[in-house]
């Protein structure tokens, strides 16, 4: 809210709020995705997340300004403020993930797998918070559907490598809440495989 309130002062936002310097553009922007594959473009994903965050923040600031007592406004709008904060945090994680993928990443095929995981993360957030993206007007229902189509395609791409990816991060199955069964064990003793 502080950043939004300072936008008219001419002071440019910096750091993780720098995108708010383009708030006029973000308030008017419409997503460019015409095909499911367009959701693989970092610029399309970032613009959708930036527009959502900016629009939710501006809406909260406008609603807060209607209250004579700012504390009452914050209390009354706490749910909206929380949702705007979640949108902002998700934007930061997605943008940092995308930013990191612009760098060289060693290891054969590692960058490609991380790009798939980044897109899965971003599009799964878009799917989960689809109502926010639609209600703020940054994307259309057709574009949301295309994003879901692309997400399903990404899941099918990552599925063959799921076990290797989990092992690469060195988390135990218990920690992840997973039950991964060795196929040899499952074939030899299907009853035992049910309880592993």
* Annotated domain spans of the chain: 2-193
Query: What's the CATH superfamily of 2-193?
Result: Butyryl-CoA Dehydrogenase, subunit A, domain 3 (1.20.140.10)
Q: Which residue has the tokens 């708010």?
A: 20
How far apart, in whole angstroms, are the C-alpha atoms of residue 84 and residue 59?
9
124-156: burial string, b at 16+ Cβ within 10 Å, e else: ebbeebbebbeebebbeeebbebbbebbebbee
How far apart, in whole angstroms, are the C-alpha atoms of residue 151 and residue 36?
9
How far apart, in whole angstroms, are the C-alpha atoms of residue 28 and residue 24?
7
Query: Residue 107 phi/psi, 5° resolution?
Result: 105, 135
User: pLDDT tens digits for the chain (196 residues)?
Assistant: 566 656 666 677 777 888 888 889 999 999 999 999 999 999 999 999 999 999 999 999 999 989 999 899 999 999 999 999 999 999 999 999 999 999 999 988 889 999 999 999 999 999 999 999 999 999 999 999 999 999 999 999 998 888 787 777 777 767 776 655 555 555 555 554 454 4
Which two structure tokens, joined as six digits, stand for 82? Answer: 């929380």
Residues 6 or more apart from 171 whose CB is under 8 A from it? none
Query: pTM of the predicted model, to two decimals?
Result: 0.82
How far apart, in whole angstroms, are the C-alpha atoms of residue 138 and residue 30?
5
């Amino acid at each position: 809210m502080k950043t939004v309130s300072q936008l008219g002062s001419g002071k440019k936002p910096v750091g993780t709020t720098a995108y708010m310097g383009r708030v006029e553009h973000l308030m008017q922007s419409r997503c460019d995705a015409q095909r499911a594959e367009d959701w693989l473009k970092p610029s399309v994903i970032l613009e959708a997340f930036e527009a959502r965050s900016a629009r939710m923040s501006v809406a909260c600031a406008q609603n807060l300004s209607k209250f004579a007592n700012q504390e009452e406004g914050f209390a009354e709008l706490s749910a909206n403020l929380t949702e705007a904060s979640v949108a902002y945090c998700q934007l930061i994680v997605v943008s940092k993930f995308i930013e990191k993928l612009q760098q060289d990443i060693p290891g054969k095929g590692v960058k490609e797998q991380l790009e798939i995981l980044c897109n899965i993360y971003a599009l799964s957030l878009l799917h989960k918070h689809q109502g926010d993206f639609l209600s703020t007007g940054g994307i259309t229902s057709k574009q949301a559907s295309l994003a879901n189509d692309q997400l399903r395609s990404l899941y099918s791409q990552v599925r063959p490598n799921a076990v290797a990816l989990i092992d690469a991060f060195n988390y135990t199955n218990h920690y992840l809440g997973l039950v991964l069964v060795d196929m040899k064990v499952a074939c030899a003793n299907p009853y035992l495989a049910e309880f592993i």
